[in-house]
Amino acid sequence: MLWLLLARQSELTRGAVLHVAPEESLAARLRQAAGSYTSLDIEPGRAMVTADLTALPFDDGSFDLIVCGHVLEHVPDDGAALGELRRVLRGTLLLQTPVNYEQSQTFEDPAVLDPETRLRLFSQEDHVRVFGRDLVDRLEAAGFDVELIEARDLGEPDRYVIDVARGPLRNDLFACRRSE
């Protein structure tokens, strides 16, 4: 879904791109399309730069595009991570994370450390939260203007095997730009 959007809006990739927790298939395409490409991961050896999303080693306004797919649900302090992403952004943040639209509020409990309990509560053993319908509010509070891009907005979702709305969790895209 993310590449489908980027292929249709190729102007997004023309400048400096930061790819957080890079998926190899998407990374290869972004490296070719980007004016300059930097990948980042907290795990050593998985990307060009090893860093925590809450303390990015880049200057303010370094990136025209930041691609951050399925990361924030793993980060204990998502507010600090969003602050850092906003700080180093001068263009668009494309964010993708599971959202449970049946929940009005994001559910998180830092005391939950057991992988089985996390799986039951957050849908995956290494997640620390499940975002609810308040995700847009959280993004706006972090200083972003937000546009929700649903799978159906990209057309022909079944052709691309994009799960439009099966069950309460959806994986929509959020295009975020710095609020002024």
Mean of pLDDT values over 117-125? 91
- Judged against a pLDDT cut of 80, whether residue 50 lies above it is answered with yes
* pTM summary value: 0.91
**Structural domains of the chain, count:** 1
Contacts 24+ apart (CB under 8 A), 116-121: none
Q: For residues 111 and 23, give the distance between their C-alpha atoms in angstroms, rounded to a whole number.
A: 29
Which of 2-11, 95-104, 108-117 is predicted least confidently?
A: 2-11
The pLDDT-based confidence of 156 (bands split at 50, 70, 90) is low
**Range of the structural domain that residue 145 is part of:** 2-178
The CATH number linked to 98 is 3.40.50.150
Q: For residues 8 and 132, give the distance between their C-alpha atoms in angstroms, rounded to a whole number.
A: 28
The pLDDT-based confidence of 172 (bands split at 50, 70, 90) is confident
